[in-house]
Amino acid sequence: MKGIGDPWGYGEPSLKRVHRRIFKLNEQITKLEEETRQVQAELEMHRSIDDDAQRDAAGGNYIDREEAGLTASDVRSFEKILAMIEGRRARLVEKRDRLVARLPE
């Protein structure tokens, strides 16, 4: 039940629970955003290395071509990791938005 000094309905246990879940989701989203920034920085570094390796492989020997294949696979791996993190973040944002919509106005 809402108390006199309780305009947000914090006296109701279900609202407390929803607010806690929203705050927890916000923390998880923030962590994923930081992880995204780190993976993007790493991906850019690997893309730069891959560009150099591809150029070397175009005029080089089999070792250069082998290295170019390895660097290209590193780039693909980081792209997959980034997509996975962004997908997780999108699901958490959607979940948070559903919880926010349940809050009283």
Residue 28 lies in a domain: yes
Domain of residue 75, CATH code:
1.10.287
Q: Is the pLDDT of residue 12 over 80?
A: no
Residue 34 lies inside a defined structural domain of this protein: yes
Stated pTM of the model: 0.78
The residue among 58 and 14 whose pLDDT is bigger is 58
3-class DSSP assignment, residue 103: coil
Residue range of the domain that includes 59: 13-102
In this structure, is residue 96 part of a structural domain?
yes
pLDDT single digits (tens) 37-85:
999 999 999 999 999 999 999 888 888 899 999 999 999 999 999 999 9
Q: What is the pLDDT of residue 11?
A: 58
Inside any domain, residue 51: yes
> DSSP class of residue 102?
H
Residue 4 lies in a domain: no
**Average pLDDT score over the chain:** 89
Query: How does DSSP assign 31-99, residue by residue?
Result: HHHHHHHHHHHHHHHHHHHHHHHHHHHHHS-HHHHHHHHHHHHHHHHHHHHHHHHHHHHHHHHHHHHHH
**How many folded domains does the chain comprise?**
1
Distance CA 15, CA 37 (A): 33
